[in-house]
Amino acid sequence: MEAPFFFFFLLLLLLVSSSPSTARLSSYGIKNLLEDPHGVLKSWDQNSVDPCSWALITCSPDSLVITMEAPGQHLSGLLAPSIGDLTNLETVLLQNNNISGPIPAEIGKLANLKRLDLSSNQFHGEIPCSVGHLESLQYLRLNNNTLSGPIPSASANLSHLVFLDLSYNNLSGPIPASLARRYNVVGNPLICEQDCYRMASMAMFH
């Protein structure tokens, strides 16, 4: 009797983690740590039943939150760790804002993430090692922040990564032996002693 109960419990956890209510609460948690001077997140209401109706969010046909796009919206504040609860996310585009603080390690829980752009913000601290868990990631931009410390060695394990831009930060240490097919680390004086970018003979990922 214990085994059927165990599998039922796992199924229940899976359903709860992907439910609209979980997405709603997680997204609202993100909103709470952001300053939104122009009210672009006004529709992110914790009392709203369906987060798929919120601005800047796109859902799959199954009503799963798969995209969060808010580039250039003058957002500031912090990126909440609750972003890691939106486990169906495939695209996160928050570039050209004023978001600060560390990149939350919980972002490594987004196993379906393909595109992540946090460039041109004010993120600081180290790139979390959990980025190496994003096995579906194809496009990553963290350039034009004030990130420091080494490039996580686990990032070399991102076999699907096509484009990586870490330029204009304060990163240090060696470049992992295997990175994206295209990468750019120019503007990091502590690691740019030789070639700072590499391009493969292929079209840039879109």
Q: Where are the domains of the chain?
A: 12-191
pLDDT tens column, 106-119: 999 999 999 999 99
Residue 9: CA count within 13 A, CB half-sphere: 6
CATH no., domain 12-191: 3.80.10.10
User: Which tokens hold the place of 93?
Assistant: 């585009």
pLDDT at 53 over 50: yes
pLDDT above 90 covers a percentage of the chain that reads 59
pLDDT tens column, 147-200: 999 999 888 888 899 999 999 999 998 888 767 678 899 999 888 655 566 654
d(CA 50, CA 186): 43
d(CA 167, CA 154): 19
Side chain identity at 156, as an amino acid letter?
Answer: A
Residue 45: per-residue pLDDT: 82
pTM of this structure: 0.84
More reliable by pLDDT, 193 or 142: 142
